[in-house]
Structure 1
């Protein structure tokens, strides 16, 4: 694929970022609470950082390294957050990363977007495994991964340094066969698509991961 597709869920459109999103990215990701639960988002989020980040997306997707989606509401096309895959093509696996700005907290957007991205990763990119990490002090992110069907694989102790403090990270993952289940049965993707926002617990507070 040469261009990142647009993914659709019941309430959301996941689309490529545009430079016109930069101001919203800076406003949402620039919140200290977002930076606190992610490893790679800087704080303060200075002018020009969003443009620089968005400017890398097309090249990284074309080279098979990353797929970054803007999470937007269908109703008003408002930016909610970001979600994407860091792809390790040689191993047919990827790391799922995401953040949702404060106005979108508690509405289940991250797990809804996550299901679409997992379906894209396994169905379109033909990945064998997708994994993700979160800080133990951010259990809301762990609940997102659990709802996506990821299995907790372990804890890497004092594995990263955040604001001068060494922190543990929890590693979760899901395999291709776990997503699609056994041949001849309904795929997890199909089950997820039948879920409606009203039946999904909205317990995402400080969502974000590495």
Structure 2
């Protein structure tokens, strides 16, 4: 089973089914959904099904979804996942942080830790992240942890009837640290 990762302020741990209602509330925020790939509305069933899929994903080494917990309050504030492409030995960072916790450096702290996990524990050669171009805060997070802007996929996704551009960020193991 996936171990927990600790930072100064955070515990990144595997999800528990009891986290589903908090996930539903945080991920269900429309403003969060507008700049991420989360479905909206985000139902309790979606949260429960997503959490229920984790043990198999981790067992197979296909993805490692971490619940981001504030140590001081023992409170779930978001998620930080690394999805593994075994064929090409790379990982995709995917995450969201609840709106009330934006601008506090939580995403940066969690992403840095999961990046270390990807290169260290998983031995990946490359880590990348797709970010909606309009999500400037996530672009800053990627730059802070060392990922470089690699390009824009024009009108890459259809979101609520509108095509959105997606920026790609990445880093190679040899360029890390």
Normalized against structure 1, the TM-score is what?
0.83
- Structure number with greater CO (CA < 8 Å, separation at least 6) is 1
Conserved 8 A contact 2:20-2:44: no
Structure 2: where are the runs of 5+ without partners? none
Conserved 8 A contact 2:152-2:167: yes
Q: Helix, strand or coil for the counterpart of 1:90?
A: coil
For residue 150 of structure 2, what is the aligned residue in structure 1? 153
Structure 1: where are the runs of 5+ without partners? 180-187, 189-210
Larger Rg: 1
Q: Take 1:100 and 1:127, find their aligned partners in 2: how far apart are those partners?
A: 24
Aligned pair count?
177
Q: Which has the higher strand share?
A: 2
Q: Take 1:83 and 1:171, find their aligned partners in 2: how far apart are those partners?
A: 17
C-alpha root-mean-square deviation of aligned residues, in Å?
A: 0.8
Q: Helix, strand or coil for the counterpart of 1:166?
A: strand
Kindly provide the CA deviation profile for residues 108-158 of structure 1, in whole angstroms up to 9, marking residues without a partner as x. 000000010000000000000000011121111100000010011111111
Q: Helix, strand or coil for the counterpart of 2:44?
A: coil
Kindly provide the CA deviation profile for residues 40-65 of structure 1, in whole angstroms up to 9, marking residues without a partner as x. x2111123211111000010011111
For residue 57 of structure 2, what is the aligned residue in structure 1? 60
Structure 1 residue 35, shift from structure 2 partner: 1.1
Normalized against structure 2, the TM-score is what?
0.98
